[in-house]
Amino acid sequence: MKYLVLGGNGFIGSHLVAALCENGHSVRVFDRSTVSNDSRTKSAEYITGDFQNTFALAEALSGIDVVYHLISTTVPSTSNLDMVNDIQTNLVSTVRLLQTMIDVGVKKIVFLSSGGTVYGNPESNPIAESHALNPICSYGVTKIAIEKYLFLFKQLHKLEYNILRVSNPYGANQHHYGVQGVIQTFLLKALKGETITIWGDGAVERDYIYIDDLISVCVKSGLKMYNDIFNIGSGELVSISEIIHVIEKVTDRKLKIEKLPSRDFDVKSISLDCTKAKEKFSWSPSCDLESGILKNWEELLGNESSNS
């Protein structure tokens, strides 16, 4: 099997590329950033390009069996600031990708959607894939639209797909410092002795999944297409206050906290029912929150030591 990982130099993408290479697969990476220096991905082929460049995508798709689509040009906290840009760079570009796939004969794709934004404020927790979709940010709306186009391309062109509605991944090499990735941001600030900013009273609850558990199911999802949607998370509700408590325990440091007013686009509480993914992929998350945060912290300490 030959895989194309769109966004393969990002947080999730770099871990996925490493796992695919270690499993003996042929991997091509398409990303706008430079080539990875990860020793685990030496066998991967790297193409530098812009996701909005159809010709570059067509070249990257040549000879590919399965596409992993991990690219997003926005994050939930910024998507409402320029919704037209969100639509143009994510939705329109993805539809062009799908059309290009059909044109060059690539008929399988795994799309990483959002389990944290497409549902909006849920009626109850944990929520299944059948729950109503009521996103409260443009990021979530765009993810849903892409899901619908995947369904349409299946009907029109027999494109096969798996949609993974991922909760909140965390772990080594998460780069959106201060923008996305609460756990990584808090750990970095704990390492530097900086003040942590939270919006609201810390009661906002999320579902967090350690990166290794996410990558495990991502690899499995590339082997067989079900033309279906799967929640991917831990299934556990964790508040910001609980994360702070665990980080203080793991790091043995008292964190400095600054509280700001709550934000309208933040879903108050959400966790995912991942029963379908567990059954179809014979998968289950194995890393609990404290163990995952400890692994993340030890990795940061190791990087700090090697850079000093």
Q: Are 4 and 18 in contact (CB under 8 A)?
A: no
Q: What pairs with residue 197 in β-bridges?
A: 258
Q: How many helical (H) and strand (E) elements, i.e. helices and strands, does the chain have?
A: 11, 13
Of the residues 3, 119, 139, 170, only one is catalytic, namely: 139
Distance in angstroms (rounded) separating the CA atoms of residues 129 and 226: 14
| Of 216, 213, 182, residue with least CA distance to 76 | 182
Is the distance from CB of 89 to CB of 52 less than 8 angstroms? Answer: yes
**Cβ contact 76:117 at 8 Å:** yes
Q: Where are the alpha helices (DSSP H) in 193-252?
A: 211-221, 240-251
Secondary structure of the chain: what % helix, strand, coil (to 5)? 40, 20, 40
Strand partners, 41: none
Closest to 75 (Cα-Cα) out of 173, 204, 179, 148: 179
Short-list 112, 228, 214, 223, CA closest to 171: 214
Q: How far apart are CA 290 and CA 88, in angstroms?
A: 39
Catalytic residue check, 161? no
Which residues are identified as catalytic?
139
